[in-house]
Structure 1
Amino acid sequence: ARLELSGKLAGFFSSPLGAAYEAKETFHCLYEHDSRREAERAAQAWLNGIPGLVAPQFKETATALRNWWEPVFNYYEHPISNGYTESINRLAKDMNRMGRGYSFDVIRARLVYDDKARRPNRKTLRQRIRSTSAPSDAAATDYLTFTRAAASTTTESRTINYGPHIPRLCGLLEAGHFE
């Protein structure tokens, strides 16, 4: 049974469907490499090794990879994706379908500035302690007393908003909050 199964798999990968599957899986492995150099070598090997059976179906992908080579492989130096932006765009489209007649400005404002959606994504970036001298009325007339006035401390914090929290937005959208 094992030999029979491996024979079927060999036949599968020689078929157009199997070749397409193998090309897709190999392409998806490009981001699993440890370094940019390894990934670029693997990408070049993928481009040169696309089976002729499925080459027309992968032409657009291969062209996009060649045209965007630098940005694609810059991921290895700065591992940041635009997944968050794409998720917000999808939510905006869903909201547009649900709320008939909204203008773009209204949709954007409700997605980006809605207080319920932003709440979980706020956090304090840092706190800074600053000392200030505040003389009393009596001390203001006497220079020596003024310079010896007790310093008070003020804590300053800066809150950073990272935009709407996507799971929270999805929940609000499903609950009909934006209708």
Structure 2
Amino acid sequence: MYKCKTKSEAIEYYENWKKSIPKDLKEFRDIAKTIDRLKVEVFNYFDGRVTNAIVEGLNNLIREYDRIGRGYDFEILRAKALFCLNHKVEKPKYATNTFSHMMYDSFNFSNDLPKDYGVPIKEYIKALNAGLFD
């Protein structure tokens, strides 16, 4: 399904796959139920081909430290991770004359937004090993 080129093609592929699941394959029917429940989120992938896998992985890493630690609070650990570690944000670069930049870019501001790459996983691990979350 994720090899499909468009959202509508992916939805059609998924619906055909779901219809083809034999009745005795409960595990696959459970997967289809989950996809149906999260259909908007799953198929939004095709709008920009970006997932939140890195964020989920980092949240799992934080939860693991929360689980093995004593007195930790997940939200505090998460806030420390988000605001304390080499958070990479790429800001747009403008020509020296910003007004002419806007004029000749046909007022397309979509490229003018900062790109937030979050915190690299190696920075989380380094901070965890250094006791930053204690």
TM-score (norm 1): 0.53
Q: How does 1:4-83 map to 2 (within 5 A)?
A: 30-54=1-25, 56-83=26-53
Structure 1 residues 57-103: Cα deviation after superposition (integer angstroms, max 9, x where no partner): 22221122223334322322222212132122112212213432123
Question: What is the alpha-carbon distance in structure 1 between the residues aligned to residue 8 and residue 57 of structure 2?
Answer: 30
Q: Which runs of 5+ in 1 are unaligned?
A: 1-29, 131-158
Name the one with the larger strand percent. Answer: 1
Q: What is the alpha-carbon root mean square deviation over aligned residues?
A: 3.0
The total of aligned residue pairs comes to 120
In structure 2, the CA distance between the partners of 1:94 and 1:127, relative to structure 1 (3 Å rule), is: farther
Which residue of structure 1 aligns with residue 111 of structure 2? Answer: none
CA drift of 1:169 comes to 0.9
Residues 1:118 and 2:86 aligned together: yes
Does the CA-based 8 Å contact 1:118-1:161 persist in structure 2? Answer: no
Question: For residues 115 and 11 of structure 2, what CA distance do their matches in structure 1 show?
Answer: 36
TM-score (normalised: structure 2): 0.67
Q: Is the 8 A contact 2:59 2:78 kept in 1?
A: no
- The 1:87/1:48 distance shift into structure 2, 3 A limit, reads same
Larger radius of gyration: 1
Aligned-partner Cα distance in 1 for 2:64–2:9: 39
Residue matched to 2:122: 167
